[in-house]
Structure formats: structure tokens, C-alpha cells
Amino acid sequence: MKVIVTGSQGMLSQDLIPIISTEHETVSLAANELDITNKEKVFDVIGESKADLVINCAAYSQVDQAETEIEQAFRINAYGVQQLALACRQHRSTLCHISTDYVFDGTKNEPYQPFDQPNPISRYGASKLAGEKFVQSILNRYYLIRTSSLYGKNGNNFVHTILQLAGKGGPLKVVCDQQMSPTWTVNLAQGILRLISTGNFGTYHLTDRTNGGISWHEFAGRILERKGSHAEIEPITTKQFARPAKRPAYSVLDTSLFTLCSGYEPLPWEESLKRFLETI
Ligand SMILES: NC(=O)c1ccc[n+]([C@@H]2O[C@H](COP(=O)([O-])OP(=O)(O)OC[C@H]3O[C@@H](n4cnc5c(N)ncnc54)[C@H](OP(=O)(O)O)[C@@H]3O)[C@@H](O)[C@H]2O)c1
């Protein structure tokens, strides 16, 4: 297939592009080459490329900043995604779009299914949900993949932050009352590669495998343990760690439909973390 990847300088896309390129002719477009909010350009590029598939990794991903930069978050995560979906429909390309666990409110206490009712509690989550709705209402041929808590070698993320803080001697205070599934970008990218060749369109969840989720505190502990660090990590509550955007208390995603429809079994989170730490 001919595949376009948008937002090619992002954390996910930098790991995704080499993996997709192993099987597909891949065209990578950075934000300065294709701004997804530029309607004319989006239609021109998708039309001229004759791409079979567009993988949208372009996003406004600053969760806290989105609380004040509301218009910009919606411009990219909703309007930009709408333009991609419309252009894909016009030029008969399939769209693979990435979304987030933050479309859920976190009030469930068992993993979210792809068809559970979203109810975002942050502006970022609301902007991503708006993008999802455009994809689902404009297109028949789409893969919509929600993921969570990404880390990879090319971006600011929790693993890098913990290692940096531990390197400086701490102190480390990490929230212990938010359950999630961390996800290594390479694990996600390998799943995307498998799903896009199936033709099994729809909405899916893909994260690293956890048995019902882990807390950020547990994740931090394992990062340091694997690095042989003895830095102390104090567990704190969400209430003690005030941030502009609310986070769901429980945002574990059930990945079984993804596995059923793609054949891809995500790695367990400990294995992903081990492999990731070996690469940095
Ligand atoms: N990171 C996470 O923990 C997480 C969790 C769940 C879901 N997700 C989703 O996963 C996807 C990938 O996330 P990520 O962490 O890789 O994000 P990222 O590192 O922030 O990458 C996003 C990319 O999009 C580009 N971009 C921004 N506005 C654009 C526009 N108007 N047109 C084209 N490109 C634009 C950015 O370029 P500039 O940097 O130049 O602006 C950046 O290269 C996103 O959809 C995100 O919502 C992420």
C-alpha cells in the first residue's frame, strides 16, 4: 500500500514510520509540510498522493495547556481531523486515526471496551472525542485506535522524566491513585502495522498489556528498579498533585477486540519497558 503519515516528527510517528516502511511505501509529512488544519493543502496532498491509507499522528497533545488553549486544541484535534476524514472520503483513502483513553471519565473499575460511552473530563479529551466523532460519521473505511500513556525514545514522556529526576537525586513524588496501561510506541506501531492490513475497519483499543492496570507510582518504581536506582518514590494522591487538567482515575483500555480482529497480541508492560530501556 501507499501510506501517508502525518505529524511525522512526533513521538509515536518517529517509531511508527520505520515499522510501516518495512511493508508499505511510506510518505512522511511533518507539520511544516502538511498542516492538517489547512483544508486546501490536505485535499491537494491526499488527492495527488493517491495514498491508499493515511495514518494521522498529528495532534495537539498538551493535556494541561489545552485547558487554556481550547481553540487551538479543537482546531487540530477536531477540525484538522475532520478535514483529513473529508479528504480521505473524497479520494477513497482509508484513515487510521489515533485517539486516547482520556475520552473516558474514569469512573469504571474494569477495562474500558471500545464501545463504552466516552465522557471526557478535560478539554484535551473533549477535543480528541470531537475528532473521533468526525472520523466515525464521515468515513466507512477507518481504523480508530485509542491508546494511552505513551512512551518512546523520541519524545517527552513519563519514563524520561522519572529517569531525569532520579538522576538529579529526586525527590520523587508520583501519583498512586490513577490506574492506566502504559504503552511503548514500538508496541503500538507493530499493532498498527498488523491492523491496517486486515480491512477490519472500526474502533479499537491498543495499549501494552496490564492485568487491569497499574498506577503511575508502580510504573515509576519498576522503571527505577530496572535501572538499578535506589531513589525513593513517595506515593501521593491526585489531590496532592494539582494540575490544570483533570485525569481519569481509571483509564485502562480492554485490548481484546484489537487482538481478535488483527491477530496482534500486545506485549506485557514489563516486557515493553525492559526492551525500551535497553534501547536508550
Ligand atoms: N503521548 C501520549 O501519552 C498519548 C496518549 C494517548 C493518545 N495519544 C495520541 O497519540 C497520538 C500521537 O501522540 P504523540 O505523543 O506522538 O504526540 P506528539 O509527540 O505531540 O506528536 C504530534 C505531532 O503532531 C504535529 N502537529 C501538531 N499540530 C499539527 C498540525 N496542525 N498539522 C500537522 N501536524 C501537527 C506536532 O508537530 P509540532 O511538534 O511541530 O507541533 C507533532 O510532531 C496523538 O493523537 C495523541 O493524541 C498520545
pLDDT in tens, 225-262: 999 998 999 999 999 999 999 999 999 999 999 999 99
Note the pLDDT of residue 68.
Answer: 98
**Helix axes of 11-21 and 185-195: crossing angle, nearest 10 degrees:** 50
How far are the Cα atoms of 65, 128, 170 from residue 245, in angstroms, in the given order?
8, 14, 24
* Cβ atoms within 10 Å of 212's Cβ, excluding its own: 12
Mean pLDDT of 150-173: 94
Domain ranges for the chain: 2-157+183-207+252-267
Q: Which atom of ligand 1 is nearest to the CA of 56?
A: 45
Please work out whether the CB of residue 14 comes within 6 Å of at least one atom of ligand 1.
Answer: no
Q: What CATH class is the domain 2-157+183-207+252-267? A: alpha beta
* Alpha carbons 190 and 187: distance in angstroms, whole number: 5
pTM exceeding 0.85: yes
> Relative to the CA of 149, which ligand 1 atom is closest?
3
**pLDDT tens track for 78-113:** 999 999 999 999 999 999 999 999 999 999 999 999
The stretch 179-202 carries a mean pLDDT of 98
The pLDDT of 137-166, averaged and rounded, is 97
Could you tell me where the beta strands, DSSP code E, fall in the chain? 2-6, 25-29, 53-56, 94-100, 142-147, 150-151, 172-175, 179-180, 183-184, 202-205, 214-215, 233-236
Q: Quick check: 170 pLDDT over 80? A: no
Output the pLDDT for position 169.
Answer: 84
Model confidence at 171: pLDDT above 90? no
Q: Closest residue (by CA) to atom 7 of ligand 1?
A: 100
Binned at pLDDT 50, 70 and 90, residue 29 comes out as very high
Q: 8, 12, 74: which to mutate for ligand 1, most atoms within 8 A of CB?
A: 12
Kindly report the average pLDDT of the chain as a whole number: 97
Confidence class of residue 215 from pLDDT cuts 50, 70 and 90? very high
User: Which protein residue has the closest C-alpha to ligand 1 atom 18?
Assistant: 10
Long-range contacts at 229-233 (CB < 8 A, ≥ 24 apart): 229/166, 231/165, 231/166, 231/169, 231/170, 231/172, 232/170, 232/171, 232/172, 233/172, 233/173, 233/174
Asked if residue 66 has its Cβ within 6 Å of ligand 1, the reply is no
